């Protein structure tokens, strides 16, 4: 399923004030991604480019745990700057689609948390990011694999086109050497399915489809007695430009 970037932008902008309190798994992914990066490649970079910076969950770990001379952040949503300003004193910001941006100067680390799942195919984005990286530059990202939100898919038949670890690895092969690829699962429990739906809304994830969920969809979902747990299936990747 292709997600319309305009709708995505609106949904994320709306979810921003409540995002940090709800994005528990995304925060854990950001911390683990930086930990895995340091274990694999060290903590020192010259120009870091962060894609899909949002409210800055990952930016906080970049600033806390990595050393760098320059940081450029990017998001579809311009308002991301309001959050980043509180986290990092000096940085450049590029608003717009990460697949089209052209930051000044080469970068030795492109890093991104919980954004790549919005791409229906990874080949064009990866080709673009490879062009922005210097030789042996590092691409570190997290995304979600097939089992993500399986409860929603089972009950509503709505899902992003999540890629399996094998599909992600195959897409990387052309321009990157995979240094680490790790997957895990987290299951969140909610008292009611309405609470679960609110969680999705507050993390901007109700843009699974370009149409709004109808009253009928919500009732159908709430009627499903198994629908109060939500499975996240994160994947972390550290890869080097060939």
Ligand X SMILES: C[S@@+](CC[C@H](N)C(=O)[O-])C[C@H]1O[C@@H](n2cnc3c(N)ncnc32)[C@H](O)[C@@H]1O
- Residue nearer to ligand X on the CB measure, 193 or 207: 207
Q: How far is the CB of 223 from ligand X (least distance, A)?
A: 28
Contact residue for ligand X among 52, 126, 208, 238 (CB under 6 A): 52
The answer to the question of residue 75 lying near ligand X (CB under 6 A) is yes
Window 25 to 44, contacts with ligand X (CB under 6 A): 26, 30
Give the whole-angstrom CA distance, residue 64 versus residue 30: 12
- Residue nearer to ligand X on the CB measure, 35 or 177: 35
- Residue nearer to ligand X on the CB measure, 128 or 222: 128
Q: How many residues bind ligand X (CB under 6 A)?
A: 24
Contact residue for ligand X among 48, 54, 162, 230 (CB under 6 A): 54
Stretch that binds ligand X, among 35-43, 46-54, 145-153, 181-189 (CB under 6 A): 46-54
* DSSP assignments along the chain, one per residue: -PPPHHHHHHHHHHHHHHHHHH-HHHHHHHHHHHHHHHHHH-SB-SEEEEES-TTSHHHHHHHHH-B-SEEEEEES-TTHHHHHTTT-SS-EEEES-TTT---SS-EEEEEESS-GGG-S-SHHHHHHHHHHEEEEEEEEEEEE-TTTTHHHHHHH-----PPPHHHHHHHHTTTEEEEEEEE--EEEE-SSHHHHHHHHHHTTTT-SSSSPPPHHHHHHHHH-TTTTEEEE-EEEEEEEE-
Strand duo 107-112 + 47-51: pairing: parallel
Q: How far is the CB of 118 from ligand X (least distance, A)?
A: 5
The pair of structure tokens assigned to 214 is 């109808």
- Residue nearer to ligand X on the CB measure, 7 or 222: 7
* Phi, psi (rounded to 5 degrees) for 176: -130, 150
- Residue nearer to ligand X on the CB measure, 124 or 223: 124
Q: How far is the CB of 215 from ligand X (least distance, A)?
A: 26
- Residue nearer to ligand X on the CB measure, 198 or 222: 198
* Phi, psi (rounded to 5 degrees) for 169: -60, -45
Give the whole-angstrom CA distance, residue 5 versus residue 115: 12
x/- track of binding to ligand X for residues 5-24 (CB under 6 A): ---xx--x----------x-
x/- track of binding to ligand X for residues 179-208 (CB under 6 A): -------------------------x----
Which residues contact ligand X by CB under 6 A? Answer: 8-9, 12, 23, 26, 30, 51-54, 57-58, 74-77, 97-99, 113-115, 118, 204
């Amino acid at each position: 399923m292709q997600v319309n970037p305009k709708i995505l932008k609106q949904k994320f902008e709306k979810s921003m004030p409540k995002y940090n309190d709800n994005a528990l798994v995304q925060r854990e992914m950001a911390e683990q991604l930086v930990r895995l990066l340091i274990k694999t490649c060290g903590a020192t970079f010259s120009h870091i480019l962060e894609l899909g910076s949002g409210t800055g969950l990952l930016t906080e770990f970049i600033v806390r745990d990595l050393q760098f001379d320059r940081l450029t952040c990017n998001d579809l949503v311009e308002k991301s700057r309001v959050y980043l300003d509180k986290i990092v004193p000096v940085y450049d910001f590029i608003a717009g689609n990460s697949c089209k941006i052209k930051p000044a100067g080469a970068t030795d680390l492109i890093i991104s948390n919980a954004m790549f799942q919005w791409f229906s195919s990874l080949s064009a984005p990866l080709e673009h990011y490879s062009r922005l990286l210097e030789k042996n530059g590092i691409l570190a990202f997290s995304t979600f694999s097939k089992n993500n939100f399986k409860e929603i898919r089972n009950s509503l038949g709505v899902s992003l086109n999540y890629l399996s670890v094998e599909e992600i690895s195959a897409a990387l092969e052309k321009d990157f050497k995979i240094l680490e690829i790790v997957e895990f699962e987290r299951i969140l429990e909610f008292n009611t399915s309405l609470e679960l739906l609110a969680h999705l809304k507050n993390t901007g994830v109700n843009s699974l489809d370009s149409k709004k969920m109808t009253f009928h969809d919500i009732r159908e979902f709430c009627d499903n007695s198994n629908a109060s747990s939500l499975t996240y299936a994160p994947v972390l990747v550290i890869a080097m430009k060939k």
